[in-house]
Structure 1
């Protein structure tokens, strides 16, 4: 992939990470006002951690050795996964639903909201696992490339 395109994606990841971080901070202001404050605390932390993840990923983005198509796919998967995570947990905190998150006090809800939370949680998990595996492969290729260059 062209360096200019990689740099542009990296900057977008950093920018979106900062937005996600800010939203996480703002959610923290409303923890006690949510139906499930424990889940709201989780949403606050998810926003902050996923924001930091996007910023860090943006900082190292140009070090991955991947095809242009794979870069585009993981770019959108990581954005989807990080924002879907925050949306799912905020919905669970606001409604009290979230049977897939019983440790945070989620209760089984009814209808479309519970189905939406479940869909978001399952799809974001698959997205983020895929992203992490591909990123590890891309960084490993980068390290191999560096070791070949320094061997000569």
Structure 2
């Protein structure tokens, strides 16, 4: 039986709370400026929340140095949250440059467009690097 570590428990909590936020956001989709973008934010929160909770469940299997372990755990969670927050801001303001498919037909002021682009881009890069580190931390379970 796998044990739940302190970091694992924190990730499970963050993931389930993030999942709950996604469910609430789903109910609010009709209330925002761009409902397609809000749907994207809802799905991002629900899917990323499940991923973070799953990371917590398997965390006792991860073998990394202390620094890399913290980076993989909280870098992935923070990266996912940044992506979601950027998408959510875009859904409320109409920003579309960072996500042109969901944002088609909408626009926002330059500051908002830049803010959303920075949040989505940096969150994507951070979560990509953190999840890559996590994969390397799981290699020892293959034998």
**TM more than 0.5:** yes
Higher helix share: 1
- Divergent runs of 4+, >3 A: none
Q: Residue 76 of structure 2 contacts residue 128 of structure 2 at CA under 8 Å; is this kept in 1?
A: no
Match of 1:119 in 2: 118
For residue 35 of structure 2, the aligned residue among 30, 34, 37 is 37
Q: d(CA) in 2 for partners of 1:78 and 1:21?
A: 15
CA drift at 1:108? 4.1
1-side partners of 2:103 and 2:83: how far apart?
17
Give unmatched runs, 5+ long, in structure 2.
none
**Residue number in structure 1 paired with 2:5:** 7
1:19 to 12, 17, 20: 17
Q: How does 1:2-151 map to 2 (within 5 A)?
A: 7-106=5-104, 107-143=106-142, 147=143
Distance 1:123 1:36 in 2: 22
Deviations, residues 63-117 of structure 1 (Å, cap 9, x unaligned): 1111011111222211211211211111000011031211112544323221111
| Number of positions where the alignment pairs a residue of Structure 1 with one of Structure 2 | 140
Secondary structure at 1:35 match in 2 = coil
- The structure whose Rg is larger is 1
Report the 3-state secondary structure (helix = DSSP H, G, I; strand = E; otherwise coil) of the residue aligned with 1:103.
coil
1:40 CA drift (Å) = 0.5
CA distance in 2, matches of 1:87, 1:74: 20
CA–CA separation in structure 2 for the residues paired with 1:139 and 1:121: 27
CA contact (8 A) 2:18 2:49 kept: yes
Deviations 1:9-44 (A, max 9, x none): 100000010110000000011111110000001111
